[in-house]
Amino acid sequence: METTTHSGATTLPPRITQTLIDRLTAMVIAGTAGEQREAYEMIEVYTGAVVGELPQSSPEDVAAAAATARAAQREWAARPVSERLAVFERAHELILAELETIADLIQIGCGKIRRMAIEESCDPPMVISHYLKTAERTLKPIRRGGAMPIITTSTEQHRPKGVVAVIAPWNFPFAIAMSDSIPALIAGNGVVLKPDNKTALCTLFGVELLQRAGLPQGLVQVVCGSGPDVGPTLIENSDYVMFTGSTATGRTIGELAGRNLIGCSLELGGKNPMIVLDDADLDEVIPSTVFAVYGNSGQACMHIERIYVHERLHDEFLRRFVAAAEALGAKAGAAYDYEPEFGSLVSVDHMERVAAHVEDARGKGATVLTGGKARPDLGPAFYEPTVLTGVTSDMAHATMETFGPVVTVYRYTDEEDAIRQANATTYGLNASVWSRNLARANRIADRLEAGNININDGFVASYSAKATPSGGVKQSGVGTRHGAAGLLKYTDTVNIGVQKKQVLAARAAMPYAKQLKSTRVTLRWMRRLRIR
């Protein structure tokens, strides 16, 4: 087993050489304009050892990157959609050929288990596969009827916006950075991509693979830095913003985008509920719930943090779920192979934030049934799978997104009350319902306030459906990714109207009474003919 030891020194996987790290970090647009910034020390999460220095971009660097992407975008947008798609057909194969290297780079920055890193690497090929089959049809101009049948027509066009800013998070740094950039590029845009400093290596490798596939030089630019340093300039020099991250930061980005009169798509936080009905099959519920709660060590926007279990199943559910959480924790480890089944949190700072939520709950009377402790013997940022009960509204974990391996289980007796409690949050990203009766589960799903609702699954069923838009409601976001909407959001819709014979303007020469009579007749015929 390729393991690391918590000693300050690290043995990286053999595929990851210092030459590769230096080549990737050299792709960042930094030091070319404005004041030179101090480099960011990237660490391997398992040990805390420094693995390289990441250049930091100045505002002037960001502006220069956007200008370069804009210049390259003009030629790219002029290409037929089929020619643009050919690049991504090649990229699809290159990503699949490099899954192991991508997984290595993801693990270095995130500390997630190998299986999760591989699954993350597979998300962009899934997105590419969908758009290879649908993008030409989605982006194709649509000719529609005009106001006057036959004499006038209207054509709907979808033109690229220009330069899209993609601000990617640290929890799925390869999947989200690539899967949000790919449709923007397919639509004919240039991209300025800002990964999180902690997890930039895998994102940079993804950009390199796109370039190997034939993406024009300069079309994708990568800038790095803290949000306050580079964010405002990035938004000021872009035509659209795609952001994934916290609700607080999303508000700031939305305000900046609005000030610049550009659109934005924001996938933000969640405090996601699961309802287990009295007829649910616990043999299916338990293993799926373990993944829905503890997958990626709980660092997923759509993961479950609140579970409402009917009183008939509550005690048995709790007994089995706690045992499953403890079994998972026993398989925690730091390794670049498939033996560990539970990994690290992304950083010591984040681990301390998760621990603070648990200690706040414990101090105010909640019960920690299992977990609730850091594991410094495994690595600096490991934290045990944790199950709480007795969480009340005055506790941080009750209402705030903990974003870690912590869940609260609640007992309910009345189905209406379970629905009310599930909806009693400012968030609305994901929800889950479990029942043997699909019709019953669907009726409850219809009443849940979330952008993604999964029946007999935690979150994979909805998120993996790349043909269907995915997004949040309430304070969990604005806009969607995936599906036709996830491509068209990166375009401006243009209406080209054609009048074959001068009839519309000519009507102004009619006496008003005759014009009014003619208008009524025309509107009645339009309704009967169902003009589109």
Instruction: Report the catalytic residues.
Output: 267, 301
Give the sheet arrangement for strand 477-478, strand by strand.
220-222, 190-194, 163-167, 240-244, 263-267, 477-478
**Residue 294: closest CA among 349, 379, 354:** 354
Distance CA 272, CA 274 (A): 7
Distance CA 430, CA 460 (A): 11
- Burial readout 334-367 (b: 16 or more C-beta within 10 A, e: otherwise): bbbeeebbbbbbbbbebbebbbebbebbbeeebe
The answer to whether residues 43 and 134 touch, using CB atoms and an 8 Å cutoff, is no
Dihedral class, residue 270 (left if φ above 0, else alpha if ψ from -120 to 50, else beta): beta
393: phi then psi, degrees, rounded to nearest 5: -65, -15
Distance CA 253, CA 231 (A): 8
**How far is the CA of 121 from the CAs of 107, 130, 412, 517, in angstroms?**
11, 16, 39, 64
DSSP 8-state secondary structure symbol assigned to residue 303: -
Say if strands 430-434 and 452-455 run parallel, antiparallel, or are unpaired: parallel
Alpha helices per DSSP H over 330-437: 348-363, 396-399, 415-423
